[in-house]
Amino acid sequence: MALAATIMLGSAGAEAQTPAYEAGLRVAKSRSYKNPECYARVFSEHARLINHHTKKNFWSIKDGPRFSTAVWSECKISR
């Protein structure tokens, strides 16, 4: 039982510290979204690290209905 709780707590903490999650959290806070943690979670699920010619560790999402729908249905955030 303690092992299951440790695994559950460990996975929640690990998600919050991924670079994609942190990037999503920065975006959400810069846009003053009401639920930045939710946006960051959805962002981290859809984000991909790309090679940007001037930036290091540039996270991007494919803009379109899939991400927008997920952000709206899970977080009630309209972009």
Q: Please enumerate in sequence order all residues whose Cβ is within 8 A of that of 43, keeping only pairs 6 or more positions apart, or say none.
A: 20, 21, 23, 24, 27, 28, 59, 61
**Stated pTM of the model:** 0.72
12, 20, 46, 55 from 60: Cα distances, Å: 22, 9, 8, 12
Per residue in 13-68, pLDDT (tens digit) is 544 579 999 999 999 999 999 999 999 999 999 999 888 778 777 898 887 799 99
Q: Tokens for 76? A: 């009630």
pLDDT at 68: 93
**Number of folded domains that form the chain:** 1
The domain of 44 spans 2-75
Q: Quick one: average pLDDT of 62-77?
A: 91
Per residue in 2-21, pLDDT (tens digit) is 444 333 344 455 445 799 99
